[in-house]
Amino acid sequence: RPSAADGQLRLKGQTRLCCGPVLHIVVVGFHHKKGCQVEFSYPPLMPDEGHDSNLLPEEWKYLPFLALPDGAHNYQEDTVYFHLPPLSGDMKCVYGVSCYRQIEAKALKVRQADVTRETVQKSVCVLSRVPLYGLLQAKLQLITHAYFEEKDFSQISILKELYEHMNGSLRGSALEGSQVYLGLSPRDLILQFQHKVLILFKLILLEKKVLFYVSPVNRLVGALMTVLSLFPGMIEHGLVDSSHYRPKSSVSEDLSLVESVSGAEEFVSVSATDIDNSTLELEAGQTTRRTSGSQSSRTGTEGDNNHLKPPSRTSPEASDSDWETLDPSVLEESPKEAAEMKEAGSELSDAFDSKPGTPITVQPQAATGQGGVTQGLVSGLEEDQYGLPLPIFTKGYLCLPYMALQQHHLLSDVTVRGFVAGATNILFHQQRHLSDAIVEVEEARIQIHDPELRKVLSLTTADLRFADYLVKHVTENRDDVFLDGTGWEGGDEWIRAQFTLYLHSLLSSTLQQDNERLLADYGAPFIAAWKITHNYRVWYSNKHPAMAHITPGHPFQGQYSVADVKLRLSHSVQNSERGKKIGNAMITTSRSMVQTGKAVGQSVGGALTSAKSAMSSWFSTLAQPPAVSAPTSPEPATEVKP
């Protein structure tokens, strides 16, 4: 009897461990000989190992380098967001939050034998199924502080309590904005990047290779994730497939040979069979269908579901987005499949587990007006009634908030269509040929190397009006309304609502007949480039009846005015290289003139002062006492201003 009961308890415990929102609590330390390594994990990362095992699953081999970031010794504490690939086919992206701290070794109550340096560096990590970055960070920072205050790292009971507490408090929680967006401030982003935020928004819509660069890591991941929060539903449901990559050691020999090709030649040497061999996943409802080159001879019933096909051309002129194309028959099959889905009565999947359990629903939000979410027929993502989030981070387009140097090979991996990644190591910044754009967060500068891409991303007059509208509302309300955080216009949720309106209007405009004039306000080159991206083709392949209620056309369309000319001039001066040079020259010239004026003023003023003092003393000897007051009238002239 006792053994059977114990067995049932263990089984329940394993189910709880398996299905909870938090997968593991991990401690990563820096060993003076072995480097970064896992020192503790609860539950153990390897099922057959102990809590203190250093072993890792092959898919998570980069975990120590992500949790303990490069250059961490330069900061007393830091926070990292990172993504790990799934360990099995039924899992999704694993969201990691790590809090790093360092402490002087002499302050430890219990100093272990392997502590040979003056400082001890460790990170406490949470590996989660849910993208609650800010909420996890807030809880983790408190525990990490308490863990270090113990000054005895063998006291791990507090970490086990953290695991139990997080799984208890987060289980059954709804993925709603107040929790998901905690710590992500679009206001701060707009105050720093101004109208360039819209360029970042369009850059990600085009599925380009975007690299964010700044130190420390908490600024890096904060800026990157805040940009993604501008896309409606993206953080809640759009990142589940954003970390599907393979570690370098598990990449096939053929692909590793292609990786050795430098620069833009890497895509030239890819054959159609290479792309065939890369796995294309298509999820409908809760069913996952896998296809590959070696399985292309499957039965016709399975082949009908393969809506994603390799490109017919792989020449250098082919667009990156031609990596896969949609079968036109999707348009015909979508209503039929939608009816089958309704008959099947598929319910919302649990955000924590694919098995039936406590359903996780999305509450209606005032900013977006969206209700519940349903499983996308083609994208495999949970979508709202408008088909959002757009399936940007799918099929090899990665989102890596922080990249360790050991992951550098992913930038040139042929199975990676593109990425939005963050880095603090200068080596990422120096190899500019591996990315389409580098976002320097510190200087609020976006470096785009391709002139054609710069032309595609140039903001139209309507775009500039939209960006200026955001900037004005944020800056005007900066010092008054938001002292208590109760304001709406210019606030974080208001900004996200504006970008939701922008995206809704853009999507609605693409559905209209004879829409060239409507789309011109978004930029004809941008629209042409966006329409061949994977996310647009998947969205367009499905019907979204709710889009009928969205007014097409740019939110800031209208006739040109003098204000538009001034706005365009200001934008050109701030962004073009020639404009920056002119601006710098004007600043330098004005500074020189001021300095010269001060020097001249001082010399002239000194001469006049000497002359006046001489004249005053001369008059004082000749004039009567009442006349001595006469020189007081020109007294203010002693200060000669330039």
Q: Which residue has the higher pLDDT, 289 or 169?
A: 169
How many CA atoms lie within 13 Å of 307's alpha carbon, on the beta-carbon side? 22
348-357, pLDDT tens digit by residue?
Answer: 334 334 333 3
**Domain contains 61:** yes
Distance of CA 589 to the CA centre of its chain: 39
- Closest by CA position to 612, among listed 585, 639, 591, 579: 639
23-36, pLDDT tens digit by residue?
Answer: 999 999 987 778 88
CA 579, CA 103: separation in Å to the nearest integer? 48
Q: Is the pLDDT of residue 91 over 60?
A: yes
531-574, pLDDT tens digit by residue?
Answer: 999 999 999 999 999 999 999 999 998 766 656 576 666 666 66
**Domain contains 50:** yes
- Closest by CA position to 151, among listed 89, 116, 107: 107
**Domain contains 512:** no
What is the mean predicted confidence (pLDDT) over 356-373?
41
| Residue pointed to by tokens 């998570």 | 60
Share of the chain above pLDDT 70, in %: 61
Q: Which residue has the higher pLDDT, 113 or 384?
A: 384
Q: Which residue has the higher pLDDT, 605 or 237?
A: 237
pTM for the complete prediction?
Answer: 0.70
pLDDT (0 to 100) of residue 107: 74
What's the mean pLDDT when you consider all of the chain? 74
pLDDT (0 to 100) of residue 44: 94
A 10 A CB-CB count for 408 gives 16
Lowest mean pLDDT among 466-480, 512-526, 573-587: 573-587
**Domain contains 638:** no
**Domain contains 388:** no
Give me the CATH number covering residue 151. Answer: 3.30.450
Q: Return phi, psi of residue 433, to 5°.
A: -70, -10
| Sequence-separated (6 or more) residues with CB below 8 Å from residue 284 | 305, 337, 341, 375, 377, 378, 380
- Confidence band (pLDDT; 50, 70, 90) for 239? very high
What is the mean predicted confidence (pLDDT) over 182-207?
96
pLDDT (0 to 100) of residue 152: 84
pLDDT (0 to 100) of residue 344: 39
What is the total count of domains within the chain? 1
Q: Which residue has the higher pLDDT, 332 or 421?
A: 421
- Confidence band (pLDDT; 50, 70, 90) for 268? very low
Helix (H) or strand (E) holding 605: helix 577-622
**Domain contains 610:** no
Share of the chain above pLDDT 90, in %: 48
- Cis amide leading into 634 (omega within 30): no
- Closest by CA position to 124, among listed 211, 64, 169: 64
What is the mean predicted confidence (pLDDT) over 519-530?
96
| Residue pointed to by tokens 């309590």 | 161
pLDDT (0 to 100) of residue 602: 52
Q: Which residue has the higher pLDDT, 516 or 608?
A: 516
Query: Side by side, which strands form the sheet with 397-400?
Result: 397-400, 418-423, 210-213, 437-440, 445-448
- Confidence band (pLDDT; 50, 70, 90) for 68? very high
pLDDT (0 to 100) of residue 548: 94
**Domain contains 207:** no
Lowest mean pLDDT among 150-159, 290-299, 378-387: 290-299
DSSP letters spanning 153-196? TT--HHHHHHHHHHHHHHTT----HHHHTTT--HHHHHHHHTTH
DSSP letters spanning 103-164? EEGGG-SS--TT--SSEEEEEEEEEESS--HHHHHHHHHHHHHHHHHTT-TT--HHHHHHHH
CA 88, CA 407: separation in Å to the nearest integer? 20
Q: Which residue has the higher pLDDT, 437 or 152?
A: 437
pLDDT (0 to 100) of residue 523: 96
- Containing structural domain, residue 39: 22-173
- Confidence band (pLDDT; 50, 70, 90) for 294? very low
| Sequence-separated (6 or more) residues with CB below 8 Å from residue 523 | 456, 458, 459, 460, 463
**Domain contains 490:** no
